[in-house]
Amino acid sequence: MDETQQRAAAYGVKGDFALTSDEVREMRESVDHSVHVDWADKRLAKIIRFRLIGYHPYEYPAWDLSYCYGELKDGTRCLVSLGGRSRFPAKWKSYVVNIARQDGVYAKGLGIFEAADNLQG
């Protein structure tokens, strides 16, 4: 746990810090934040990072989308919208599958579950 994570823990933040700060920084800096696509966009090759925050089974039984990064077929890394959705129930995986079907997206094929931040549910 780095200094920022230790400070957050001291304030009661609970989390699974799966990536180191260097990894997070590298990922963030590799993304062109001026490029935004929807997950149904045919240029999108895969989801590379899908981060949900806020779930606690008793205090806050839902997830909020922190961010979703993807990679286009031309190699450009970008921000990805999941059809404008940003709130997910505790059982987020089945929810993602259902909303993906509605949007004509094959979520597993995009790698969204592998790109998730070690989430349960």
Supply 94's token pair. 């089945």
102, with CB counted inside 10 A (0-12, 13-18, 19+), is exposed
Residue 96: burial class (beta carbons within 10 Å; 0-12, 13-18, 19+): buried
- pLDDT band at residue 121 under the 50/70/90 scheme: very low
What are the tens digits of pLDDT across the range 12-64?
666 655 556 787 788 889 999 999 999 999 999 999 999 988 767 667 778 89
Is pLDDT above 90 for 112? yes
Q: Smallest Cα–Cα separation from 114: which of 62, 42, 49?
A: 49
Q: Give the span between the Cα atoms of 39 and 58, in whole angstroms.
A: 31
Burial 27-62 (b: 16+ CB within 10 A, else e): beeebeeeeebebeeeebebbbbbbbeebeeeeeee
Residue entry with tokens 């999108």: 44
The mean pLDDT of the chain is 86
pLDDT score of 24: 76
Q: What percent of the chain shows pLDDT beyond 90? A: 59
Q: pTM of the prediction? A: 0.78
**Domain map of the chain by residue range?**
31-115
